[in-house]
Amino acid sequence: MDEFRAEVREFIAANLPDDVRDACMAGQYPTQEMLARWQRILADQGWSAPNWPVEYGGPDWSTRQVVAFADECESNFCPPLPNFGIGMIGPLLMTYGNQAQKDFFLEKTRTGEFQWCQGYSEPGAGSDLALLKTRAVLEDGHYVVNGAKIWTSEAHHADWMFCLVRTDPEAAKKQDGISMLLIDMTTPGITIRPIIGLNGIHYFNEIFFDDARVKAENLIGEQDNGWQYAKALLSDERFNQARTAICRGLLARLKRLAAATMCEGNPLIQQDYFRRKIGRAEVRIMALEAVKQGFVDANERGGRLGPEVSILKLTGSELLKDLDRLLMEAAGVAGLPYDPGWMQGRENARTDDIDAVGTLSGFRHRRKAATIAGGSSEVQRMIIAKRVLEL
């Protein structure tokens, strides 16, 4: 595995464009052009879909290699690959899609020609997705869709949405009667309304469907079985949210900042109380890495990711926020300035911005929602209690 990691690092060093690296190092959101450029570079190498088999244009890597690749990309300031397409709907189509869907969507998703968003949460169905009310009625070869979605990440940049809709409102259980549709975002009857976050960034959206007509052939798998597909996607998403490499990078930055910050005449890192905080954070990262490796080993032996992976999302997201708090504690008031325009890449970043305390507030604003997005910490604890511990 050391040789594989070295190969990935060498490729990144030789091929990641300087402006893209600088933006990611400084904590900016990479622009859409940067994301597309990096995905094309990886696609040309055959690495843009690291978790895909050769049959669909992937490298056919083992789970260990996929995880190692992701870690090296995060550690070396690469922009993220489009998880909705590469990490979620692509593998789902390989398993449940028909041949026509595979032929139409997979290659264009791998190369970045198709970008995706996820239509799950609704104004009245966020943490409990099974309460969704967006309705789809089959009529003359089309599903007529009415309803609303909310907190839809990057919908304003997406070409397609994989969307949960209710096709049988009379189903006995709320999890039944749900289907998954692939929806062209240019379909008449779809309205996208931006949600500007407290950090000043447009990342989330509201989506409204008013008699939007979706071809019946864009149904994934069987009608009324969408909940099973959604659960599979959520397990994969939560595995990918451990963020151990990012946590390692934040810890290293914290140590550098604490060494450069003076407190009562000595570097902050020499203060016993702060050294203990750093030590506790490092132990938590090591524990998270060990648990994540256990899931990797189980997957290599043929096991599927189950509800247990919620522990990775729960622990990883809380670690990110705790490390940000420690960074802000070390920086003090110097870490407070914040410019949303700079965060969105309207001004070029510099390589030395990685340790500039003026970027810390932007990082913290960005990760405030880590324990909410992708399933809140409360929901993760409930999943663990009910489905793992059977309490």
Structure confidence at residue 353 (pLDDT): 46
Query: Does any domain span residue 103?
Result: no
Q: Is 189 within 8 Å of 183 (Cβ atoms)? A: no
Query: Do 340 and 245 lie in a common domain?
Result: yes
Structure confidence at residue 343 (pLDDT): 59
pLDDT digits (tens, 9 = 90+) for 192-202: 999 988 777 88
Any idea which of 100-109, 216-225, 294-303 has the lowest mean pLDDT?
A: 294-303
Q: Is 210 within 8 Å of 281 (Cβ atoms)? A: no
Query: Do 280 and 383 lie in a common domain?
Result: yes
Query: Does any domain span residue 105?
Result: no
Query: Does any domain span residue 98?
Result: no
Query: Do 249 and 329 lie in a common domain?
Result: yes
Structure confidence at residue 362 (pLDDT): 63
Structure confidence at residue 11 (pLDDT): 98
Q: Total structural domains in the chain?
A: 3
Given the DSSP bridges, would you call strands 142-149 and 202-215 parallel, antiparallel or unpaired?
Answer: antiparallel
DSSP 3-state of 47: coil
Query: Do 373 and 294 lie in a common domain?
Result: yes
Task: Compute the distance between CA of residue 354 and CA of residue 22 in angstroms, rounded to an integer.
Answer: 8
Domain that holds residue 214: 116-224
Q: What is the mean pLDDT of residues 81-101?
A: 95
- Please enumerate in sequence order all residues whose Cβ is within 8 A of that of 309, keeping only pairs 6 or more positions apart, or say none: 235, 238, 239, 295
Q: What is the mean pLDDT of residues 152-158?
A: 96
DSSP 3-state of 189: coil
DSSP 3-state of 279: helix
The pair of three-digit structure tokens given for residue 312, joined into one six-digit string: 């990775």
Structure confidence at residue 352 (pLDDT): 47
Question: pLDDT band at 24, cuts 50/70/90?
Answer: confident
Q: Is the pLDDT of residue 91 over 80?
A: yes
Is position 237 annotated as part of the catalytic site? yes
Any idea what DSSP says for residue 174?
T
Task: Compute the distance between CA of residue 149 and CA of residue 218 in angstroms, rounded to an integer.
Answer: 19
Structure confidence at residue 119 (pLDDT): 96
Provide the CATH number for the domain around residue 305.
1.20.140.10
Query: Do 251 and 172 lie in a common domain?
Result: no
Query: Do 250 and 305 lie in a common domain?
Result: yes
Query: Do 275 and 373 lie in a common domain?
Result: yes
| Entry pTM | 0.84
Given the DSSP bridges, would you call strands 135-139 and 142-149 parallel, antiparallel or unpaired?
Answer: antiparallel
Query: Do 331 and 248 lie in a common domain?
Result: yes
Structure confidence at residue 237 (pLDDT): 65
- Please enumerate in sequence order all residues whose Cβ is within 8 A of that of 285, keeping only pairs 6 or more positions apart, or say none: 244, 247, 248, 251, 319
The DSSP annotation for 224-258 comes to TBHHHHHHHHHHHHHHTT--HHHHHHHHHHHHHHH
Q: What is the mean pLDDT of residues 123-136?
A: 86
Query: Does any domain span residue 94?
Result: no
Q: What is the mean pLDDT of residues 111-117?
A: 97
Query: Do 138 and 191 lie in a common domain?
Result: yes
Which among 74, 154, 237, 308 is annotated as catalytic? 237
Q: Is the pLDDT of residue 215 over 90?
A: yes
Structure confidence at residue 273 (pLDDT): 94
Question: pLDDT band at 338, cuts 50/70/90?
Answer: low
| Phi/psi of residue 132, nearest 5 degrees | -60, 145
Q: Residue 190: in which H helix or E strand, if any?
A: strand 190-196
Task: Compute the distance between CA of residue 378 and CA of residue 383 in angstroms, rounded to an integer.
Answer: 9
- Residues above pLDDT 90, as percent of the chain: 59
Query: Does any domain span residue 106?
Result: no
Structure confidence at residue 358 (pLDDT): 55
Can you tell me which residue has the tokens 């550098």?
A: 256
Query: Does any domain span residue 111?
Result: no
- Angle at CA 170, nearest 5°, toward 164 and 172? 90
Query: Do 255 and 377 lie in a common domain?
Result: yes
